[in-house]
Amino acid sequence: MKIIALGDTHGRNKWKQVVSRESFDKLIFIGDYFDSHDGISAVRQKENFKEILAYKECSPEKVVLLIGNHDFHYLDGVYETYSGYQQRQRSSIQALLQPAVDKGLLQVCFVWKHLLFSHAGVTRTWCRNHLPEGGTIEHNINSLFRKDLSAFAFALGRTNNPTGDDPEQSPLWVRPPSLLEDWLDSYIQVVGHTVQKSLVLSDEVIFIDTLDTSGEYLVHEDGAFSVGKTVGGKKG
């Protein structure tokens, strides 16, 4: 099994480079398809997401689309907004996202053996607070997302941290210090959400939000990790 995981998209089409030159069994998008921080227009963000959805629908078993916080705040029934939110585009973005969620094309997490993929990471505290006993972590989290969006909303928690650095935060929001302090240690977790200068490999959490910095992405094959690189990544 060869798995490739891509960091936060934010309207970028670098995923096309990976698709054109790599063979793989699973391609995982870590979420955040919207809200560009580097000048990508709303039109281009939406067109890029349409192409990602079309690719998913053509290869439903091969492509995994995870949801990020910058997608979550456009969903029906969510009334909080985060940095980069495009108020004038809400209706048109929601018209793309909501049907995809309703059809089950997007999910919060994906598990393969000892690897757990989510946008920001899964803490023991959040699991205790929100998940039932029994069942698999993938099933429980994705089922909860379909039933109760409030469990994934931004929560200040006991630290009252405005950036999401709290172990009570959801898999869409928790920041690296709190995740590393309270990580769900049955798995090696692969996450985006927090920009890194280059891809960070470890035995606990792998941070892959690097498409707009180093241009790197994660490859896992035959039990080993390696790093691929897109053209156009920034240095340092």
Q: Identify the residue whose tokens are 């989290």.
A: 141
Residue 234, pLDDT above cutoff 60:
no
Q: How far apart are CA 148 and CA 77, in angstroms?
A: 10
**What pTM was estimated for this model as a whole?**
0.96
Q: Give the angle subtended at the CA of 67 by the CAs of 57 and 136, to the nearest 5°.
A: 90
- Please give the average per-residue pLDDT across 178-203, as a whole number: 95
> Within 13 A of 163's CA, how many CA atoms are on the CB side?
7
Q: Which amino acid is at 78?
A: V
Name the average pLDDT for the chain.
95
- Please give the average per-residue pLDDT across 176-189, as a whole number: 94
Read off the tokens for 122. 């899964």
- Please give the average per-residue pLDDT across 120-125, as a whole number: 98
- Please give the average per-residue pLDDT across 38-63, as a whole number: 96
**Per-residue confidence band for 185, with pLDDT thresholds at 50, 70 and 90:** confident
With beta carbons less than 8 A apart as the criterion, state whether 109 and 116 touch: yes
Q: Convert the pLDDT of each residue in 132-180 to its tens digit.
A: 989 999 999 999 999 999 999 998 888 999 999 999 999 999 999 999 9
Task: Work out whether strand 216-221 and strand 205-207 pair parallel, antiparallel, or are unpaired.
Answer: unpaired
With beta carbons less than 8 A apart as the criterion, state whether 209 and 49 touch: no
Q: What is the pLDDT of residue 179?
A: 97
Task: Work out whether strand 216-221 and strand 2-6 pair parallel, antiparallel, or are unpaired.
Answer: antiparallel
- Please give the average per-residue pLDDT across 116-134, as a whole number: 96
